[in-house]
Chains A and B, each alone.
Chain A
Amino acid sequence: MSAFEKPQIISHIQKGLNYTVFDCKWVPCSAKFVTMGNFARGTGVIQLYEIQHGDLKLLREIEKAKPIKCGTFGATSLQQRYLATGDFAGNLHIWNLEAPEIPVYSVKGHKEIINTIDGVGGLGIGEGAPEIVTGSRDGTVKVWDPRQKDDPVANMEPVQGENKRDCWTVAFGNAYNQEERVVCAGYDNGDIKLFDLRNMSLRWETNIKNGVCSLEFDRKDISMNKLVATSLEGKFHVFDMRTQHPTKGFASVSEKAHKSTVWQVRHLPQNRELFLTAGGAGSLHLWKYEYPIQRSKKDSEGVEMGVAGSVSLLQNVTLSTQPISSLDWSPDKRGLCICSSFDQMAERTTLYRSEAAPHLGPL
């Protein structure tokens, strides 16, 4: 492929902010997005921006008591578009951005900071109840239903007396009908655990030898197909989730990139074989997964086991000198995404954020 036929990553707009931004998400069905983070004075902030004529316009700024670490629109309906956030004190809130003074739902879910959050069942994607899962530094992963107050509907916690490990990332998957759902959680000691919510059991676990920074299924609303797990030390693994071997688990292929922590992975909503990884050196890499000729084969005892495919790098670009901490594809416009990074210079708490729109030509 010549240089012009490969997809290019073009940066559209860059905006400096005056606070640390941890997460950014598109508001579904609009050209707006929210950023979440904390001010230097220790309070949390949510800002709502709109893209107007090639520039970003701040529509609304909401300040909250505690810094906000993560957020998702995954569990709300398209009409309501409520934002669910997790903050540094372990509170889960769901906000109506039109009336953000009082949260629509609020619970003190965890004893320590909520590191990660994911939602499923909303936005017209998938079937089943809308649910939110949060993972925290206290080692627990909890699933919440916005209709049930105060108590989680599922709680994955360490056995009594076990030393807890930080949960760094969670992801929903396999939500192809009303009953089935899985939650995958990654921890700082390299553990990846797959929980089946229908049977309330641990379905699979493995350890990838480096702390797991980010997990994502290629689609939440289909029978689980692929899972990408990124970790410290610049590695990521792609697991083929269609065939589970009783002892060997899922087949995987791994790749080393970025030369530093891979902070995020996001699949393109319009094409699940493409995904973007964001690295600690401020770079974005666009990858394409190719399936093997046969996705499963029989091992020596005749038991089915999966075969992993291969991953190839399509394009990469460096946007900043600081890690790109969060990434989100626009569900409406193919190829548009936002990413946020942090610049933590002592004097300037200016945070660098940039927009990138991959031009996806003939693929």
Chain B
Amino acid sequence: MPLQVSDYTWQQTKTSVFISVPLRGVSVRDADVFCTENYLKVNFPPFLFEVFLCAPIDDENSKAKIGNDTIIFTLYKKEVAMWETLSLSGVDKEMMQRIREKSILQAQERAKEATEAKAAARREDQKYALNVMMQIEEEERKKIEDMKENERMKATKELEAWKECQRKAEEQKRIHREEKFCEQEKQIEDERKKLKHKSHTRISASRNLATKATKVFKRRNSENIFLEKLKENSIPAPRSVGSIKINFTPRVFPTALRESQVAEEEEWLHKQAEARRALNTDIPELSDLKEEEKNPEWLKDKGNKLFATENYLAAINAYNLAIRLNNKIPLLYLNRAACHLKLKNLHKAIEDSSKALELLTPPVADNANGRMKAHIRRGTAFCQLELYVEGLQDYEAALKIDPSNEIVQNDAEKIRNIIQGTELKS
């Protein structure tokens, strides 16, 4: 229960009240002042000082000075009058409570108003700043527009001026020409007068006149022709006819070439080629082969025979043709790989064995034989290329298929030794 403080002192003038409350040694920090129009409270534990004011005060302008172990309040009265007592008389507990609550509410409201006012002020400031920014930008834009307008005016004026110039020049030329024409006309007139004086017949006069006119005309014409001739002398004769034959960079599509479409076009062409191969009926080179020679099976047998007689190149040809006709038969690739091995075309052997293996999926018992052969051939090729590790991999795959094959086992051992040998050396 806080202790009520009652040894405070107070003075007043007409407009203000001074209250002095001793702090009794409590530190300044702990003093909490709460003041509304009718109610003043200072809470400095364990002390409590509160007073219900006789008349309302202006709590916004009133001050509290805390220091020197006292608090001095300077309260400005709302009405100018002298108070009889500082606090209201005849206040009971209920009233006190009510006044307290009212004061708290008042304080809260005031606080709320204050924050709202602050927020409104801030919004106003922002809007103002934005407006100013926009104005500045508008001015910039206008400036540029004005400059452009000026340029436009200037250009139009210059154009008009230049046109005037041109026109005047044209005028001059025309006047000059007309003058010349007038002169010539005058000449004709003079001649005519002379003729008249010579008293020729009218007909001959007119004839002469006509001839004079035609003479003048012809003269002018000849002048012109002369002028033109001069010009033509400075321009060379038309070129002698020639023709250049050209070739174009080949392009299948009739549309224009675009880089972004090249990939799509390539794919399309590739697919077309595949489809065409599938229909193999009219490949031109095959037109002069016999019927049986177009059969991949027959070609495969032929290839085998050629292989047996060590005619490897021919065998490869046979296999090539067979593959062209039907490129899904793994045996063809296997056999071709064997030919390549014999011919020491090691990379091609590897390629073909790989293709055969691809075609021999899924790995089942049926194609075990073929797969083993493929692995062995590929392994051999790797070893001959001195890629022993890859070769060993293939040999081990072969062994997995058929662990009982002695030759493969021996070869695998040999390779392992070679690998270990090189490792020891290095």
Contacts and interface: CB of A to CB of B under 8 A. Distances in A.
Interface in B156-181: 156, 158-160, 162-163, 166
Contacts of B241: 151-155
A163 B248 contact: yes
A197 B242 CA distance: 9
Contacts of B239: 129, 131, 143, 145, 153-154, 197
Contact of B238 (A4, A53, A139, A153): A153
A31 B259 contact: no
B155 to A, nearest CB: 5
Contacts of A5: none
Interface in A189-236: 189-191, 193, 195, 197, 200-202, 207, 209-211, 232-233
Contact of B248 (A12, A143, A187, A200): A187
A151 B238 CA distance: 11
B151 A200 contact: no
A145 B259 CA distance: 37
A128 B236 contact: yes
B400 interface: no
B290 interface: no
A207 B246 CA distance: 14
B156 A154 contact: no
Interface in B165-221: 166
B259 A233 contact: yes
A278 to B, nearest CB: 18
B174 to A, nearest CB: 13
A326 B113 CA distance: 68
B261 to A, nearest CB: 9
A107 to B, nearest CB: 14
A157 B246 contact: yes
A357 interface: yes
Contacts of B245: 157-159
A210 B236 contact: no
- Chain B, interface size category, equals 35 or more
Nearest to A235: B259
A332 interface: yes
A29 B166 CA distance: 8
Contacts of A193: 246
A233 B152 contact: no
Given A10-B148, A131-B239, A210 B159 contact: no
Contacts of B148: 8, 10
Interface in A153-167: 153-159, 162-166
Given A128-B236, A165-B248, A154 B257 contact: no
A154 B246 contact: no
B237 interface: yes
Contacts of A4: 147
Contact of B256 (A53, A130, A166, A336): A166
Contact of A189 (B160, B162, B257): B257
A247 interface: no
Contacts of A108: none
B240 interface: yes
Contacts of A357: 151-152, 155
A131 B239 CA distance: 9
A357 B176 CA distance: 36
B296 to A, nearest CB: 34
A61 to B, nearest CB: 21
Interface string B379-419: 00000000000000000000000000000000000000000
Given A54-B156, A210-B259, A190 B242 contact: no
Contacts of A111: none
Interface string B232-259: 0001111111111111111100011111
A272 B278 CA distance: 58
Contacts of B158: 333
A232 B258 contact: yes
A188 B246 contact: no
Given A153-B238, A158-B248, A187-B248, A51 B159 contact: yes
B272 to A, nearest CB: 17
A156 B256 contact: no
B281 to A, nearest CB: 25
Contacts of B160: 53
A148 B151 contact: no
Given A53-B156, A197-B239, A162 B256 contact: no
Contacts of B248: 139, 158, 162-165, 187, 189, 191
A318 interface: no
A310 interface: no
B68 interface: no
Interface string A1-32: 00110001010100000000000000001110
Nearest to B262: A209
Contacts of B166: 29-30
A190 B243 contact: no
B256 A145 contact: no
Nearest to A193: B246
Nearest to A12: B152
A209 B259 contact: yes
Nearest to B253: A189
A165 B251 contact: yes
B238 to A, nearest CB: 4
A12 B157 CA distance: 12
B247 A158 contact: yes
B238 A155 contact: no
Interface string A106-140: 00000000000000010000001111000000010
Contacts of B247: 158-159, 162
B254 to A, nearest CB: 9
B155 A153 contact: no
B155 A200 contact: no
Contacts of A129: 235-239
24 contacts: A8-B148, A31-B159, A31-B162, A31-B163, A51-B156, A121-B235, A152-B241, A153-B240, A154-B239, A154-B241, A156-B244, A158-B248, A163-B251, A165-B251, A188-B257, A189-B249, A189-B257, A190-B257, A200-B243, A209-B257, A211-B256, A211-B258, A336-B155, A336-B159
Interface of A: 3-4, 8, 10, 12, 29-31, 51, 53-54, 121, 128-131, 139, 143, 145, 147-148, 151-159, 162-166, 168, 178-179, 187-191, 193, 195, 197, 200-202, 207, 209-211, 232-233, 332-333, 335-336, 357, 359
Closest 4 CB pairs of A and B: A211-B256, A200-B242, A188-B256, A145-B238
Given A3-B144, A197-B239, 16 more contacts: A31-B159, A54-B152, A121-B235, A145-B238, A153-B238, A158-B247, A159-B245, A178-B236, A189-B257, A190-B257, A193-B246, A197-B242, A202-B244, A209-B259, A333-B159, A336-B155
